[in-house]
């Protein structure tokens, strides 16, 4: 009987004591139902399958599940190969398998097939991910290469600009240097191509600055040297003066423009009209120009009014720069000039 003053535990104990028989009957009914179901299930299993094959099939299913859970990187084809082994094993008792056993083998083969399909899709997804990673890497590499090519092109363009500027600077520097030094040009004295007399000619396209020239007449110098023993008997002779005006003279000529020509200096060593050989050395900055000119009576001239013909050879640093022989210059029988060789370097 319900008493409001009783606790929950007391009420539960009272309820169990009052309903013990009903609980026992319910428990016995459930136990009997389970026993009857188990007996029916056991009878059904004994009729439709054998114990050992059944346990083997259960072990196969457990192995399949364990492999699926514990072996996520199973190679493609392994499960379908196992299914082939199972199918081959089924043929051993072909005709003796019971209905449940056949069904379980079909489940096992299907599970293995499903596992292999899962592995195929897994491999495919992995392949897609790897392909995407490779593609992304290639795109990133291509982007970096493109950026590097742009930077390289920009650097090359800058180098081209710098190179062109350097070339222009070098050209200007070279041009300025040539304007100051004469650019490797040379000058010489032409004795016969001008009616008005010898002229100093610049054969180069750059101006020549601070030209000085030393002119020697070796034959005249020898004549004066031979007079030295007799000089004591001729006080009127001034051999030193004559040597400085007739045998060897140094003159400053100044500047000469590009391809320019001016009259040669008015000095006795150049104005005496007779056969002679002159050695002329021009000093132009740090460059020396060596000229040898032979003046002889022309073949088409008659005495006493001989006309002089010239043969001229000009060199710088041993390199021939000019060789000019008048057509009416009298050559040796072997064709040589006489005062210098026609052979050139």
pLDDT digits 0-9 by tens, 304-324 = 778 889 999 999 988 999 999
Residue 129 CA to its chain's centroid (Å): 37
Task: Indicate whether 345 pLDDT > 60.
Answer: no
Task: Indicate whether 37 pLDDT > 70.
Answer: yes
What pLDDT score does 300 carry? 85
Mean pLDDT computed over 175-197? 87
In whole angstroms, what is the distance from residue 39 CA to residue 220 CA?
A: 157
Comparing 12-16, 43-47, 249-253, the range with the smallest average pLDDT is 43-47
Highest mean pLDDT pick, 78-87, 137-146, 330-339: 137-146
Please tell me which residue, 69 or 174, carries the higher pLDDT value.
174
Mean pLDDT computed over 5-14? 70
What pLDDT score does 339 carry? 82
What pLDDT score does 68 carry? 64
In whole angstroms, what is the distance from residue 20 CA to residue 185 CA?
A: 140
What pLDDT score does 43 carry? 66
Dihedral (Cα; 240, 244, 248, 251), 10-degree rounding: 160
Task: Indicate whether 66 pLDDT > 90.
Answer: no
What pLDDT score does 273 carry? 78
First to last CA, the chain: 150
The dihedral of CA 235, 240, 243, 246: what is its sign? negative
Mean pLDDT computed over 61-75? 67
Mean pLDDT computed over 260-286? 89
In whole angstroms, what is the distance from residue 26 CA to residue 40 CA?
A: 21
Structure-block tokens of residue 85:
């082994």
**Is the entire prediction scored with pTM above 0.85?**
no
In whole angstroms, what is the distance from residue 106 CA to residue 100 CA?
A: 10
What pLDDT score does 126 carry? 82
Q: How many CB atoms lie within 10 A of CB 128?
A: 10
**Percent of the chain whose predicted confidence (pLDDT) is above 70:** 79
Task: Indicate whether 343 pLDDT > 70.
Answer: no
Q: How many CB atoms lie within 10 A of CB 292?
A: 18
What pLDDT score does 332 carry? 84
Q: Determine contact, residues 264/189, Cβ cutoff 8 Å.
A: yes
What pLDDT score does 19 carry? 74
257 pLDDT band, cuts 50/70/90, is very high
252 pLDDT band, cuts 50/70/90, is very high
pLDDT 10s digits, 89-109: 666 655 566 666 667 767 777
What pLDDT score does 87 carry? 65
Q: DSSP 3-state assignment of 216?
A: strand
Structure-block tokens of residue 121:
């899709």
What pLDDT score does 65 carry? 61
Please tell me which residue, 222 or 85, carries the higher pLDDT value.
222
Mean pLDDT computed over 177-190? 88
Structure-block tokens of residue 114:
């499903």
What pLDDT score does 331 carry? 86
In whole angstroms, what is the distance from residue 220 CA to residue 239 CA?
A: 11
Residues 6+ away with beta carbon under 8 Å from 180: 209, 285
């Amino acid at each position: 009987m319900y008493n409001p003053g009783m606790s929950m535990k007391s009420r539960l104990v009272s309820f169990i004591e009052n309903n013990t028989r009903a609980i026992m009957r319910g428990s016995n009914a459930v136990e009997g139902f389970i026993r009857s179901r188990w007996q029916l299930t056991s009878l059904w299993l004994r009729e439709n399958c054998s114990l050992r094959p059944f346990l083997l099939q259960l072990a196969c299913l457990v192995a399949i599940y364990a492999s699926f859970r514990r072996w996520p990187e199973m190679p493609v084809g392994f499960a379908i190969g196992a299914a082939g082994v199972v199918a081959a094993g089924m043929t051993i008792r072909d005709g003796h398998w019971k209905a449940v056993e056949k069904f379980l083998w079909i489940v096992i083969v299907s599970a293995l097939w499903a596992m292999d399909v899962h592995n195929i899709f897994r491999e495919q997804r992995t392949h897609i991910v790897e392909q995407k990673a490779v593609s992304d890497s290639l795109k990133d590499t291509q982007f970096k290469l493109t950026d590097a090519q742009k930077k390289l092109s920009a650097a090359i363009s800058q180098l081209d600009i710098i190179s062109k500027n350097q070339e222009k600077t070098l050209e200007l520097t070279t041009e300025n240097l040539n304007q100051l030094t004469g650019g490797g040009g040379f000058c010489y004295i032409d004795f016969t191509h001008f009616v008005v007399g010898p002229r100093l000619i610049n054969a180069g396209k750059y101006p020549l600055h601070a030209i000085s020239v030393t002119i020697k007449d070796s034959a005249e110098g020898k004549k004066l040297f031979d007079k030295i023993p007799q000089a004591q008997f001729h006080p009127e002779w001034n051999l030193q003066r004559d040597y400085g005006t007739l045998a060897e003279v140094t003159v400053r000529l100044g500047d000469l423009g590009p391809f320019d020509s001016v009259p040669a200096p008015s000095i006795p060593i150049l104005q005496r009209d007779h056969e002679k050989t002159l050695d002329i050395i021009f000093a132009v900055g740090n460059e020396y120009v060596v000229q040898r000119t032979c003046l002889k009576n022309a073949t088409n001239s008659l005495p006493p009014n001989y006309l002089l013909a010239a043969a001229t050879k000009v060199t710088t640093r041993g390199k021939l720069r000019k060789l000019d022989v008048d057509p009416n210059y009298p050559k040796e029988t072997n064709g040589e000039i006489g005062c210098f060789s026609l052979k050139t370097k």
